[in-house]
């Protein structure tokens, strides 16, 4: 099922896959790229808009996952960056921008492992952003 999220970038929207739970509640089933404050596995509320699309309401319950957006310097380094995150238990998704990836940090991955991976990849990463951090991943 596709869910429409209003982003914080003007009139843009981001579509995400969600799994219906029960009336008005859905579980996010992919990694957000542009929407802030939402991560994979979060339980969100929503409603059907006038145009028939499901529209985001709010995060009802955190799924414990965090989301990073990572901009890699060169196309040729994306696979290495993705593999480095995968090796510490993170998932990732690519975007329509070849050097932009979204990284899913599950609750089982310690934040210290993510920080070490980011330091190790410093020369390959142009920039990264913590799009959504859960309490499990807020640095001490």
Residue 11 zone, left/alpha/beta (φ > 0; ψ -120 to 50; rest): alpha
Measured distance CA(59)–CA(133) in Å, rounded: 13
CA distances from 135 to 16, 59, 66, 70 (A): 23, 15, 9, 21
- What's the pLDDT at 88? 97
The token pair at 89 is: 């238990």
pLDDT of residue 140: 64
Lowest mean pLDDT among 11-15, 28-32, 40-44, 56-60: 11-15
| pLDDT at residue 7, as a whole number | 47
β partners of residue 2: 17
Asked if the model's pLDDT at residue 102 lies above 90, the reply is: yes
Provide the percentage of residues in the chain whose pLDDT is more than 90: 62
How many whole angstroms separate alpha carbon 78 and alpha carbon 75? 6
**% of residues, the chain, pLDDT over 70:** 90
Confidence of residue 3 (pLDDT cuts 50, 70, 90): low
């Amino acid at each position: 099922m596709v869910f429409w999220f209003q982003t914080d970038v003007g009139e843009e929207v981001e579509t995400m896959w969600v799994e219906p739970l029960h009336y008005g509640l859905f579980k996010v089933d992919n990694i957000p790229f542009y929407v802030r404050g939402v991560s994979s596995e979060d339980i969100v509320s929503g409603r059907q808009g006038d145009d028939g699309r499901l529209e985001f309401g709010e995060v009802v319950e955190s799924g414990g996952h965090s989301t990073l957006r990572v901009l890699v310097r060169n196309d040729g380094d994306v696979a290495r960056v993705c593999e480095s995150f995968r090796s510490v238990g993170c998932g990732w998704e690519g975007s329509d921008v070849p050097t932009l990836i979204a990284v899913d940090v599950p609750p089982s991955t310690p934040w210290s492992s993510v920080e070490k991976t980011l330091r190790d990849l410093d020369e390959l990463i142009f920039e990264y952003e913590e799009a959504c951090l859960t309490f499990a991943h807020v640095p001490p």
